Chain A
Amino acid sequence: MGFEIFKESYAGSIRPITLGKGDKAVTVGGESCLPIYTFEGEVPNKPKIAMEIWDMEPTDWSEAAKKPFEDVLSDPAAWAKKCVEEYGADMIVLQLKSADPNGQDASPDEIVKTVQNVLGAIDVPLILWGTTNNQKDEEVLKKVSESFDGENLALGPVEDDNHKGVGASVMAYGHTIIASSPIDVNLAKQLNILLENLGVPTDRILIDPTTGGLGYGLEYSYSVMERIKMAALLQGDDKLQYPMINNLGNEVWRCKEANQTADDAPELGDPERRGILMEAVGAVTYLMAGSDILIMRHPESIRMVKEFIDLNMEGGSAQDIAPINKQLADVDIDYASMAPEPDLTIEEEKKAAPKKKEKKAEPAKEEKKAEPAKEKKAAPKKEEKKAEAKPAKEEKKAEPAPAKEEAKPAAAEKAAAPKEEDEAAKKKAEEEAKAKAEQEAKAKAEEEEKKKKEAEEKKAKDEEEARKKAEAEEAAKREDEERKLREKRAKEREKLHKKQETAEAKPEALTPAQEQKSHLDKIVERLDRVHRRV
Chain B
Amino acid sequence: MTTYNVSFQPHEKQITVEEGESLLRAAMEAGVHINASCGGEGVCGKCRLIVEEGEVEGGVSEQLSQADVDKGYRLACLSGVKSDLSVRIPTESYIDAKVLNLQATPRKTARIKQLNLEDLKEKGLFVPPVERVYVEMPVPDSMDNQADVTRLVDALQRDHKEHRIEFDLSVIRKMPDVLREADFKVTVTIARPVREDGKNRIINIQPGNTTDRNYAIAIDIGTTTIYGQVIDLISGEVLAQYGDFNGQLSYGEDIISRIVYAEKGNGLEKMHSLAVSTINNVIGKIVKKSGVDKDEISTITFAGNTTMTQLFLNVNPRYIRRSPYVPAANIYPPFKAVEIGLELPDHVTALVYPQVSSYVGGDIVAGIMGSGMYQDEELTLYMDIGTNAEVVIGNKDWLVCAACSAGPAFEGGGIKLGMRAAEGAIEDFSIDPVTLEPMNMTIGNVRPKGICGSGLITCVATMFEMGIIDSRGKFNRDLDTSRIREADGVYEYVLAYEEVSGVDRDVVINEIDIDNLIRAKGAIYSGCQTLLAEVGLSIHDLHRIIMAGGFGSYIDLEKTMTIGLLPEIDADKVTFIGNGSMMGARMSALTNSIRRDVVSTLNNMTNFELSETKSFMDNYVAALFLPHTEQDTFPRLKARLEERRKKLAQ
Seen from chain A, the residues whose Cβ lies within 8 Å of a Cβ on chain B are 160, 184-187, 189-190, 193-194, 197, 520, 523-524, 526-527, 530-531
Q: B606: which of A193, A197, A531 is its contact (CB, 8 Å)? A: A531
A520 to B537, CA, bound (A): 11
22 contacts between A and B (CB under 8 A): A185-B618, A186-B621, A186-B624, A186-B629, A190-B472, A190-B625, A190-B629, A193-B629, A193-B631, A194-B470, A194-B471, A197-B470, A520-B397, A520-B398, A523-B398, A523-B536, A524-B397, A526-B535, A527-B398, A527-B606, A530-B608, A531-B606
A523 to B471, CA, bound (A): 36
Chain A CB within 10 A, most for which of B608, B618, B629, B631? B629
State in angstroms the CA–CA spacing of A193 and B535 once bound together. 30
Give B593-622 as 1s and 0s: 1 = Cβ < 8 Å from A's Cβ atoms.
000000000000010100000000010011
Given contacts A523-B398, A523-B536, A527-B398, contact A197 B629 (CB under 8 A): no
B400 interfacial contact with A, CB 8 Å: yes
* Inter-chain contacts of B625 with A (CB < 8 A): 186, 190, 193
Q: Are B470 and A186 in contact (CB under 8 A)?
A: no
Q: Are B472 and A160 in contact, CB atoms less than 8 angstroms apart?
A: yes
Q: What distance in Å separates the Cβ of B380 from its nearest Cβ neighbour in chain A?
A: 14
How many angstroms between the C-alpha atoms of A200 and B96 in the bound complex? 28
Whole-angstrom distance between the Cβ of B625 and the nearest chain A Cβ: 5
Closest chain B residue to A238, Cβ basis: B632
Interface of B is mostly: loop
Q: Is the CB of A197 within 8 A of B398?
A: no
Residues of B in contact (CB 8 Å), total: 17
A526 contacts which chain B residues (CB < 8 A)?
535-536
Contacts of A186 in B (CB 8 A): 618, 621-622, 624-625, 629
**Cα distance A526–B618 when bound, in Å?**
24
A526 to B398, CA, bound (A): 11
Given contacts A523-B536, A531-B606, contact A197 B397 (CB under 8 A): no
Q: How far does the alpha carbon of A193 sit from the alpha carbon of B471 in the complex, in Å? A: 9
Q: A193-B629, A527-B606 are in contact. Are A184 and B621 (CB under 8 A)?
A: yes
Q: In the assembled complex, how far is the CB of residue B491 from the closest CB belonging to chain A, in whole angstroms?
A: 13
Give Cα A526 to B535, complex, Å.
8
B residues less than 8 Å from A520 (CB atoms):
397-398
A526-B535, A530-B608 known; 10 new pairs, CB 8 Å cut-off, are: A160-B472, A186-B621, A186-B622, A187-B621, A190-B629, A193-B471, A194-B472, A520-B398, A524-B398, A527-B398
Which residues of chain B come closer than 8 Å to A527, judged between CB atoms? Answer: 398, 400, 535, 606
* A-B residue pair count with CB separations less than 8 angstroms: 41
Q: Which 7 A-B pairs have the closest CB atoms?
A: A186-B622, A186-B621, A527-B606, A531-B606, A186-B629, A524-B398, A190-B625
Residue of A nearest to B535 (CB): A523
Contact with A along B630-644 (1 / 0, CB 8 A): 010000000000000
- In the docked arrangement, what's the CA distance between A75 and B470, Å? 43
Residues of the B chain whose Cβ atoms lie less than 8 Å from the Cβ of A523: 398, 535-536
Give the Cβ gap from A47 to chain B, nearest Cβ, in Å. Answer: 27
A209–chain B nearest beta-carbon distance, Å: 14
Which partner residue on chain A sits nearest B619 by CB separation?
A186
The residue on B at minimum CB distance from A191 is B472
Across the interface, which residues of B come within 8 angstroms of A190, CB to CB? 471-472, 625, 629
* Interchain CB contact under 8 A, B621 and A530: no
Q: Which residues of B contact A524 (CB under 8 A)?
A: 397-398
Give A520 to B618 CA distance when docked, in angstroms: 28
Q: Which residues of A contact B608 (CB under 8 A)?
A: 530
A253–B470 Cα distance when bound, in Å, is: 38
- The A-contacting residues of B in range 111-170, CB under 8 angstroms, are none
* Residues on the B chain within 8 Å of A189, using CB: 622, 629
Please name all residues of chain A whose beta carbon is closer than 8 Å to the beta carbon of B470 when the two chains form the complex: 194, 197
CA distance in complex: A530, B624 (Å): 29
Which of chain A's residues have a CB closer than 8 A to the CB of B536? 523, 526
What residue of chain A has the Cβ atom nearest to residue B477's Cβ?
A: A164
Give the docked Cα–Cα distance between A213 and B400 (Å).
42
Q: Smallest distance from the beta carbon of B173 to chain A beta carbons, Å?
A: 48
Chain B neighbourhood of A530, CB < 8 A: 606, 608
User: How near does chain A come to B486, taking the closest CB pair, in angstroms?
Assistant: 15
Chain A residues contacting B621 (CB-CB under 8 Å) are 184, 186-187
Bound together, the chains give a CA A197 to CA B400 distance in angstroms of 38
Min CB distance B171 to A, Å, is 43
Residues of B378-413 whose CB lies within 8 A of A: 397-398, 400
Taking the nearest CB of chain A, how far is it from the CB of B489, in angstroms? Answer: 13
Q: Whole-angstrom distance between the alpha carbons of A444 and B542 in the complex?
A: 74
A452 to B536, CA, bound (A): 65
CB distance from B322 to the nearest CB of A (A): 20
**Residues in chain A near residue B535, CB distance under 8 A:** 523, 526-527
Q: How far is the CA of A524 from the CA of B470 in the complex (A)?
A: 42
A28–B398 Cα gap in the complex (Å)?
52
Chain B contacts for A531, CB-based, 8 A:
606
C-alpha gap A418/B5 in the complex (Å): 107
Least Cβ–Cβ distance between A179 and chain B, in angstroms? 14
Closest approach, in angstroms, between the C-beta of B481 and any C-beta of chain A? Answer: 18
Complex Cα–Cα for A160 and B471 (A): 11
Closest to A526 in B: B535
Interchain nearest-CB distance for A461 vs B (Å):
37
Closest to B478 in A: A164
B533: min CB distance to chain A, Å: 12
Chain B minimum-CB-distance residue to A530: B606
Which residues of the partner chain B approach A193 to less than 8 Å between Cβ atoms? 471, 625, 629, 631
**Nearest residue in A to B400 (C-beta to C-beta)?**
A527
Name which of A186, A524, A530, A531 has the most chain B CB atoms within 10 A of its CB.
Answer: A186
Give complex CA distance A526, B629 in Å: 30
Report B331 CB to chain A, min CB distance, Å.
18
Q: Which residue of B lies closest to A198 (CB)?
A: B470
Measured CB to CB, the nearest residue on chain B to A525 is B398
Nearest-CB distance from A162 to chain B (Å)? 12
